[in-house]
Chains A and B, each alone.
Chain A
Amino acid sequence: MGMTEDTEFTEVIARLRRLGERAVDPGVASAHLQMMAVATPSGVHWWRRGSTGLSSKMRVGVVIVAASVAGGTGLAFAGGLPHPAQQVAHNAFSAVGINVPQGSSGKSQTNGTSTESSKRTTTSVGSGGASSTTPDASSSGTDANGSTTLLDVDGTPPPGADAAGIAALPSTSIGSLPDVLTTTTSTAIGDVASTTTSIGAATETPATTTPTTTRRGNGGAATTTTTTTVRTTTTTAAANGNGNGNGNAGGNGNGNGRTTTTTVGLTASTVRTTVTTAPPSNNGRGNDRSVTSTTVVPGAAGGESVELIVPSPDGGIVKVIGSVPATTVPGQRLQSEITDPDAAKKAAEAQAKADKAAAEAAKKAAEAAAKEARDLSRG
């Protein structure tokens, strides 16, 4: 029909086409072009591009993901994420020098000058070593086997750190009653010397050679402040003794005894560290989730090492060696880095598990976001 029409109505079609080829009045064209120039967008925003930009679904998805990231980051800084996700956030941010609370299954409690909870990063268990002097040692007590963690502040290896030696340290006291606080002090690695300080009579001793100050608050939280100039290990325990430990030196019971503290200076300078634990629980299920805070107090010398024996998350004991940052800031929290092989292995396993959980959570979040985006696009 087309070809026939072209030949049959050639003249008519040609005249029709000429109607569409007549030049526009220059004045009208000029006015129109000026109006169009004003209306033309000066810059094309990326989110308003047509087929070359993001589709509406993608835009919705991007908005959701951005909101999730922003919200998740805020929660991470607030420490409000679930434990695995919080752990992942902690690791990710710490890699770039940003301090984000670590995932914790327990509640942080502080007392005295302590301001932050310590990081319980290792769960490796070593030999119990020599038993410290404990009045109720026959009863089951704390998980005595100590784990070893090297606390490496600012990436500087602690001077004089001896993981093997530290692992052999006596590290526990067993079976004391909740209202009994025992302090054990050793003057050298492997050499155990003990002193006992009763609860309720808070004493404070100026720093001389190995002064130890132990205070017990009404709330049950124990605060021990130790100032020392020699390599000293101080272990303070308050256990409620209802576990089923076998009374060995290390004590492998599941009691919820509490072990806290200690400060060791490897140099002659004074290092002061405050360690605080939560009140002991009395439920006998070994779920004492005490948290230890380590805070550099004013006067601590930068670069000095501290050694801490603190409760592990599972009720055991963790030995920590660290150095005070070269530039000490009152209230600054010491960060740890695991160097013990077993601890590292277990931590890696825990990390892998946490990463997996976080990945699953992220996957679920992405699926939910995609579903929501689909629903929005349909809507």
Chain B
Amino acid sequence: MRSAGDVYRQLAPAVFGYLRTQHVPDAEDVAGEVFLQVARDLHRFSGDDDALRRWVFTIAHHRMVDTHRRRARRPAVADMDVPDHAAPPHEDPMDPELVAALDELTDSQREVVVLRFVADLSVEAVAKLTGRTPGAVKAMQHRALEQLSRSLAVSREP
């Protein structure tokens, strides 16, 4: 019997990576909502680790979509003064080069490669989650990897 804490320790890094690469605002808060739902509903879940991963990332995907949709409806309004100084860099920055390369992909391509390799889901699971056929996912993944390779290679050139 899994505990919610075990699930968090096992999948939280991947969920954070997924949300950040998807440019979800307040990724930490959204991740908290995801695992809150996991904690509430874990007793109703049954399945192996792969099924658990699919279930958690399905929740994360829906939360990500909701957040983007909510943000699109109600743009955030800054009601405070703009700080004079820039914020210090993040203590644990993600791979900025790779993140920049991901930003060059289309939203669909980025979503597929992130779900495939950051969330470590299978082609079938990604296809089901994104509403595409497995063949379409494979093709999209291939084009995304090609694009990433090109972008990273270019960034390495002096």
Do A and B truly interact? yes
Q: A residues within 8 Å of B by Cβ? A: 1-2, 5, 8-9, 11-13, 15-25, 28-29, 31-33, 35-37, 39-41, 44, 48-52
For B38, the closest partner residue in chain A by CB is A36
Interface mask (B38-57 → A, CB under 8 Å = 1, otherwise 0): 11101111100000000000
For B123, the closest partner residue in chain A by CB is A2
Contacts of A40 in B (CB 8 A): 4, 39-40, 42
Contacts of B5 in A (CB 8 A): 33, 36-37
Q: Is B98 an interface residue (CB 8 A)?
A: yes
Q: Is B118 an interface residue (CB 8 A)?
A: yes
Asked if A12 and B152 sit within 8 Å, CB to CB, the answer is: yes
The size bracket of the interface on B is: 35 or more
Contacts of B94 in A (CB 8 A): 19, 22
A-B pairs with lowest CB-CB distance, top 3: A16-B117, A20-B14, A36-B39
Asked if A19 and B40 sit within 8 Å, CB to CB, the answer is: no
Asked if A50 and B43 sit within 8 Å, CB to CB, the answer is: yes
Contacts of B25 in A (CB 8 A): none
Interface of B is mostly: helix
For B44, the closest partner residue in chain A by CB is A50
CA distance A233 to B32 in the complex (A): 89
Asked if A24 and B16 sit within 8 Å, CB to CB, the answer is: yes
Q: B residues within 8 Å of A by Cβ? A: 4-5, 8, 12-14, 16-18, 20-21, 28, 31-32, 35-36, 38-40, 42-46, 91-92, 94-95, 98, 113-114, 117-120, 123, 138, 141-142, 145-146, 148-149, 152
Contacts of B16 in A (CB 8 A): 22, 24
For A17, the closest partner residue in chain B by CB is B117
Asked if A9 and B13 sit within 8 Å, CB to CB, the answer is: no
CA distance A20 to B36 in the complex (A): 20
Asked if A24 and B117 sit within 8 Å, CB to CB, the answer is: no
For B37, the closest partner residue in chain A by CB is A39
Contacts of A36 in B (CB 8 A): 4-5, 8, 35-36, 38-39
Asked if A39 and B39 sit within 8 Å, CB to CB, the answer is: yes
Q: A8-B145, A9-B149 are in contact. List 16 more A-B contacts (CB 8 A).
A: A11-B152, A15-B95, A15-B98, A16-B98, A18-B95, A19-B21, A19-B94, A22-B94, A23-B92, A28-B31, A32-B31, A32-B35, A36-B38, A36-B39, A39-B36, A39-B40
